[in-house]
């Protein structure tokens, strides 16, 4: 078999059976908010440990991502801000955000920004709770798949 056919077969195989990638967690939780224009694919470990709530401010739309730890703990994991591009530009492209943030994407005249709280929203004396919170926070930065419309 010549090299051209072999390359074609390999490309076809990769197209038909795409890999999830090395080290990625399989997303099983899906969240979609059509009004906000966001879709998220979350790791399986998040099941039962998060909630998402809309929270409009006068300046921009916001989705709060809550951290749940049974039986009764709730804290802020982070939030997604949907800002008009003009506002984002006028405010220095995030220079006024006082905590850690990551620009996730831009579409249809809006910028989507992931913002983390400046305080701790877990019990630092509870090792399991701390581990889970920090893992989920890291997932927001590195594992969660985002789509905007």
Q: In total, how many domains does the chain have?
A: 1
The answer to whether residue 132 sits within a structural domain is yes
The answer to whether residue 16 sits within a structural domain is no
More confident residue, 59 or 87: 87
The answer to whether residue 6 sits within a structural domain is no
Confidence at 120, pLDDT banded by 50, 70, 90: confident
The answer to whether residue 14 sits within a structural domain is no
Can you give the pTM of this predicted structure?
0.75
pLDDT in the model for residue 20: 42
50-54 and 61-69 strand pairing: antiparallel
The answer to whether residue 133 sits within a structural domain is yes
Percent of the chain with pLDDT over 70: 82
How far is the first Cα of the chain from the last one, in angstroms, to the nearest whole number? 45
Q: Which DSSP letter does residue 21 get?
A: -
The answer to whether residue 105 sits within a structural domain is yes
Reply yes or no on whether the pLDDT at 1 is more than 60: no
Confidence at 70, pLDDT banded by 50, 70, 90: confident
Q: Considering only CA atoms, which of 114, 131, 122 is closest in space to residue 52?
A: 114
The answer to whether residue 88 sits within a structural domain is yes
pLDDT in the model for residue 57: 74
pLDDT in the model for residue 71: 78
The answer to whether residue 18 sits within a structural domain is no
Q: In whole angstroms, give the CA distance from residue 80 to residue 90.
A: 19
Q: In whole angstroms, give the CA distance from residue 101 to residue 1.
A: 52
Reply yes or no on whether the pLDDT at 22 is more than 70: no
23, containing H or E segment:
none
More confident residue, 84 or 16: 84
Full domain range(s) for residue 137:
27-148
Reply yes or no on whether the pLDDT at 11 is more than 60: no
Confidence at 61, pLDDT banded by 50, 70, 90: confident
pLDDT in the model for residue 21: 41
């Amino acid at each position: 078999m010549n090299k051209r056919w072999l390359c074609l077969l390999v490309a076809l195989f990769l197209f038909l059976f795409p890999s999830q990638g090395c080290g990625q967690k399989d997303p099983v939780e899906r969240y979609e908010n059509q009004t906000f224009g966001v879709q998220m694919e979350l790791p399986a470990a998040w099941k039962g440990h998060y909630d998402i709530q809309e929270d409009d401010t006068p300046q921009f739309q916001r989705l709060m991502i809550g951290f749940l730890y049974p039986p009764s703990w709730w804290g802020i994991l982070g939030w997604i801000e949907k800002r008009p591009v003009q506002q984002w530009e006028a405010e220095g492209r995030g220079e006024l955000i006082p905590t850690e943030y990551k620009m996730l994407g831009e579409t249809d005249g809006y910028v989507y920004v992931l913002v983390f709280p400046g305080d701790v929203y877990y019990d630092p004396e509870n090792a399991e709770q701390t581990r889970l919170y920090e893992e989920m926070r890291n997932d927001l930065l590195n594992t969660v798949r985002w789509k905007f419309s």
